[in-house]
Structure 1
Amino acid sequence: MASDGRHLGRLPSGMGICCSIPDLLFLPELVFGGLVWILVACTYIVPANPQAYVMAVSLLCFICTFLWMLFFGCGCHNNRNSWATADVLYHFLASVLYLSASVPLAMVTLAYSGSLTMIYQFNISAVVFSYLTTLLYVIHTVFSAIRWKSF
Structure 2
Amino acid sequence: MAATTAQPMASLPSGLGICTTAPDIFYLPELVFGGLTWILVASVRVVPANPLGWVMFVSIFCFVMTFLWLVIFACGGHKNSYGWATADFIYHLLAVIFYLSAGVALAYMTILSKDNPVFRIYQIEISAVVFAFASTLVYFIHAILSAIRWKNF
TM-score by shorter chain over 0.5: yes
Following superposition, the deviation at residue 49 of structure 1 comes to 3.9
Match of 1:14 in 2: 15
Q: 3-state DSSP class of the match of 1:120?
A: helix
Identity rate, percent: 56
Contact 2:13-2:21 within 8 A present in 1 as well:
yes
Match of 2:6 in 1: none
Contact 2:12-2:80 within 8 A present in 1 as well:
no
Match of 2:3 in 1: none
Q: What are the Cα deviations for residues 54-103 of structure 1, in whole angstroms up to 9, with x where unaligned?
A: 01110000000000000000000125210000000000001100011000
What letter corresponds to residue 61 of structure 1 in structure 2? C
Task: Report which of the two structures shows the higher radius of gyration computed on alpha carbons.
Answer: 2
Contact 2:10-2:152 within 8 A present in 1 as well:
no
Unaligned segments of structure 1, at least 5 residues: 1-7
Tell me, yes or no, if structure 1 residue 88 matches structure 2 residue 89.
yes
Match of 2:129 in 1: 127
Tell me, yes or no, if structure 1 residue 59 matches structure 2 residue 60.
yes
Q: 3-state DSSP class of the match of 2:39?
A: helix
Query: TM-score scaled by structure 2?
Result: 0.90
What letter corresponds to residue 58 of structure 1 in structure 2? S
Q: 3-state DSSP class of the match of 2:114?
A: coil
Match of 1:36 in 2: 37
Contact 2:92-2:140 within 8 A present in 1 as well:
yes
Question: In 2 relative to 1, CA 100–109 (structure 1 residues): closer, same or farther, beyond 3 Å?
Answer: same
What letter corresponds to residue 77 of structure 2 in structure 1? C
Unaligned segments of structure 2, at least 5 residues: 1-8
Following superposition, the deviation at residue 148 of structure 1 comes to 0.4
Following superposition, the deviation at residue 46 of structure 1 comes to 3.0
Residues in 2 aligned to 1:48 and 1:84: alpha-carbon distance in whole angstroms = 37
| Cα RMSD, aligned residues only | 1.4
